[in-house]
Amino acid sequence: MMESEEKRGDKHTREFFTVMKVYINGSMVDEKNAKISVFDHGLLYGDGVFEGIRAYNGKVFKLEEHVDRLFRSAKAIALEIDKTPDQISSAVVDTCNANEINDGYIRLIVTRGVGTLGLNPYLCKESQIVIIASAIQLYPVELYEKGLSIVTVGTMRNHAEAINPRIKSLNYLNNVLAKIEAINSGVMECIMLNPQGYVAEASGDNVFVVRGNTLSTPPSWCGALDGITRATVMDLAVSAGYSVSEDVLTRYDLYTADEVFLTGTAAEIIGVSDIDRRSIGDGRPGPVTLKLGEHFHAFARENGTPIR
């Protein structure tokens, strides 16, 4: 193994990479040469959209759904993507191949492109497409066994007519401010409420409540992202015999639930042990959470777009 090789990733990824290859506008470049202009509106203003995608067992999970959501987000902000969905999907697979990804994490980014120091997005001549295929571990492994302590934060989820939370934009400052509050409270995650005081989502994950044989999750109009892992878990839960619904939830519903868990591409499924110092269930991930976690991992490893 060459001396220039450096360790990357965790147990879900190939342990060593020579040099990471990053896709930028149709070319694979070494990570040290993966650069965009300082005049890119994605950098200057958070003007762009992105997707976080998983690869499991040599397949890209829910690639079509992720690319479709990317284009919906782009349309919502009047961003023209200079490639077709099929071309974007092929580029994702090519980037995984270039980095010999078997199990890993892909970040797909489209920025408005190079413009001026002014806000006018129509002065940006063409969008920029960046794809990174590597690894991610959002929470320590032991928290999937013990459960996650979370708090409610004061930072509200964006109003739907400010930056609609269904747009997966590069402007994540709303989420970052919520994450800062969580960390300052001594925990890793939080619950964000919408301007009406209803539960929206976590700083980067969707929220589920379990009561008996019923699963509830906030509807997207309450400020929740249309999560792809969320939708997958809902389908798997129905197949497993659970009742699933989208409901307006308050903190009372979370505090008094049998189980609470979060879902997301990076987080997958993680149980919540306590919220605002109220123990959820017996203070550990419950049986429904654990069962759905097993179903999800089995399903994800068997389904997806082949990388090779």
Residues classed as catalytic: 168
Task: For 137, list phi and psi in degrees, rounded to 5.
Answer: -140, 105
**Beta-strand relationship, 16-17 and 148-152:** unpaired
Q: Which of 252, 265, 271, 158 is nearest to 208 (CA)?
A: 271
- Name residue 73's amino acid: S
Other CB atoms within a 10 A radius of the CB of residue 206 amount to 25
DSSP state of 223: T
The encoded tokens of residue 229 equal 């892992």
Report the Cα 280 to chain-centroid distance in Å: 24
- Name residue 286's amino acid: G
Q: How far apart are alpha carbons 279 and 9 in whole angstroms? A: 33
Contact between residue 153 and residue 162 where contact means Cβ atoms under 8 Å apart: no
Cα-based distances in Å from 266 to 16, 27, 97, 227, 228: 21, 26, 20, 11, 11
The encoded tokens of residue 205 equal 């994950």
DSSP state of 213: T
Q: Which of 114, 106, 108, 118 is nearest to 43 (CA)?
A: 114
Q: How far apart are alpha carbons 115 and 128 in whole angstroms? A: 11
**Beta-strand relationship, 268-275 and 27-30:** unpaired
